[in-house]
Structures are given as structure tokens and as C-alpha cells.
Amino acid sequence: MRKAWIVASVAISSALAFVMLLVVGVYLVAGNLVSGVGGGAKSLAKGSVPAAYAATVQKWGNLCPAISPALLAAQLYQESGFNPRAQSHAAAQGIAQFIPGTWASHGIDGDGDGDRDVWDPKDAIPSAASYDCELASYVKKVGGNPTENMLAAYNAGAYAVIKYGGVPPYSETRNYVKRITTLAESFAAPVGRVDPSEQAAAAIEYAQKKLGTPYLWGGTGTAEQGGRFDCSGLTQAAYETVGIKLPRVANDQYNAGPHPSRDELLPGDLVFFSDDLTNSRAIRHVGIYVGGGYMIDAPRTGAVIRFDPIDTPDYFGATRVTEDGAKALPMTV
């Protein structure tokens, strides 16, 4: 096995110049391409919502035209990271983070079992969708984008949206609207080509320079750690060199952009692995795709940063990192 790996490594290293030329080509043309990911996508990306909640999000995300399953998923992820037991210091509760007063007036019995339980996702997720649609109805006569107006009403109140004839000029509200609409793209199944990342070449170049570095669990490449990394520490550092700040852990990095299919992968895409292929929150490993079915990754304790194949039974999917997508992510979920 060791001999076979050495031979494979030599072959991969020989082909790296070609791969880097491909990546540079991707980098140069990326700015000229038109995005294939648009608004209004009605299907969720594979595994982007935990399987236990996916059907509920898909159903209730189509409750009214102002929302979509992807948008509803983005809100839930932003609020709680899909944690049904989440509770904030402000007393917001459950997967949708309703405060008690809002739940009392807007919570619904989503599963028809005779009660309204803020801790039950089968009630809380439908209630979140219902609340969104109620807000949308308040501002339906306001000009502009109805989804953005709804999100602005969620953040700043319907009165402010009506007063300003659209998203009010509050930086917090405008940032919230952009964050949720951008984040929704990472929960939507792409409906067309997914743009290549302009930062791909530099991210791969950084990772390539780390080949042979010993793995360190929790490693982020600091001097105190001897410049060592774990898997998500390496991908975080690689993209940080081009000004893109990714979250620390792999399952949050999955939401840093849209998700190309296996046959659409380009160098620079992040590739993810999980023992549960129905739940992005269970992702446990990430690498940087370099082409030819291989990635650069920091695999495990006792190993070094190296080339590994991606076509394994635990391959979960990929993310094409975007600057806006990364900025939309909460750093802690």
C-alpha cells in the first residue's frame, strides 16, 4: 500500500502543473461568467437541512411567494444552527428562536397534535414560515422585492418598511436582509451552472505549500502549533489568504456558497465527508479539490497534509466558496 501511495503521489505531483494551469484559467475567467444560481429555487440542496427537518422545511417553505424552502432553512440555520433545544440570553427558544411573547401570538400547531410547543420543530418550523408570510402580508403593498421587504419587517418591524417604502436605511437591517438572502443560496439546489471562485488558484497554492506538514487536531497553523493544521484549519487558512474568512469547523464551512455536483467540480471547491449523508451538520472532514478526483487535505492524527482521492463512500458533497457566502455565515452556530 505504501509503495502504491508513493507512485500515486508522484503521478499527482507530475500533473500538478496542469492542474494549476487549469485553476489559473478558472481564476481569470471567473469574473466574466454569469451566475446560474438565482432566486426562487424551490428545492433544497442535498443534505443541507438535517433529514429530521427537511420535509417540514420543504413543505412550509412554500407557504407563500415571499419565502422558499432555502430561505426558511437559512433563517433556521442563522437562528439556531438547527438545534431544537437552543436558548439565547434574551430567552429566545427552540429551532426558530421565538421569544415567549412572539410565540404566544404567532405560534401555531404545525403538526396538528393539539398543542403549540416552541421546542417541537414540527410546530416551530411551520410557525416561522407562518410568521414570515404574515409579515409579508403586512408589507405587500410596498414596492420592491417582497422577500427583502419581509426580511426587513422581521428585523426592523413592518412599520419601518412601510414608512421608507422598502428596506429601511438601517445598516443592521440591510445587513440582515443581505445575509439571509445570500445564505439561502447555500441551501438551495442549484438550478444552473455554479460560478467558479476567483480565489481558487491562491487557495490551492497555499494548501500545496503545506504538503507534508504533520496533522494537528485543532490546528490552525499558528507559530505556537508549529504551523500545523487539522482539516478545517487548513481550508480556513487557505481561503483567509485571499481575504475570505470561513468559520472554524467543517460543517459550517459547507454553507459558504452554492453546491456544485460531483461532475461540476472545479479546483478550489471545498469537498466534504460525513458518516451521515443526509445531514450537513454531521460533516466531519473537508479538503480542497485540485482536480482529477483528488484533494489536498489534512486527514488525521499521525498523517501529514497530502493528496487524497475524494471518491469514497463517505463523500458528502462540495461547496464553491464565495466571498458573500462566507460573510453571511454566523461564526458560531
Would you call 80 helix, strand, or coil by DSSP? helix
Residue carrying the nine cell digits 467558479 = 196
In the numeric block, which cell numbers belong to residue 24? 489559473
φ, ψ of residue 300 in degrees (nearest 5): -175, 170
* Rounded Cα–Cα distance for residues 246 and 254 (Å): 10
Domains contained in the chain, number: 2
In the numeric block, which cell numbers belong to residue 248? 472554524
Task: Kindly state whether residues 116 and 171 are assigned to the same domain.
Answer: yes
- Residues in CB range of 237: below 8 A, 6 or more apart: 206, 220, 221, 229
Identify whether the C-beta of residue 211 lies closer than 8 Å to the C-beta of residue 308. no
CATH code of 245's domain: 3.90.1720.10
Name the residue range of residue 157's domain. Answer: 53-187
**Would you say residue 3 lies in a domain?**
no
Q: Which residues are catalytic?
A: 79
In the numeric block, which cell numbers belong to residue 194? 455554479
For the entire predicted model, the pTM comes to 0.85
**Would you say residue 294 lies in a domain?**
yes
- Report which secondary-structure segment, H or E, holds 317: strand 315-319
CATH code of 107's domain: 1.10.530.10
pLDDT band at 15 (very low <50, low <70, confident <90, very high): very low
The model's pLDDT over 86-130, given as tens digits with 9 standing for 90+, comes to: 999 889 999 999 999 999 999 999 999 999 999 999 999 999 999
The model's pLDDT over 265-281, given as tens digits with 9 standing for 90+, comes to: 999 999 999 999 999 99
The model's pLDDT over 310-319, given as tens digits with 9 standing for 90+, comes to: 999 999 999 9
**Would you say residue 27 lies in a domain?**
no
Percentages of the chain per state (helix, strand, coil), in multiples of 5: 45, 10, 45
The model's pLDDT over 183-226, given as tens digits with 9 standing for 90+, comes to: 999 999 988 788 887 888 999 999 999 999 999 999 999 999 99
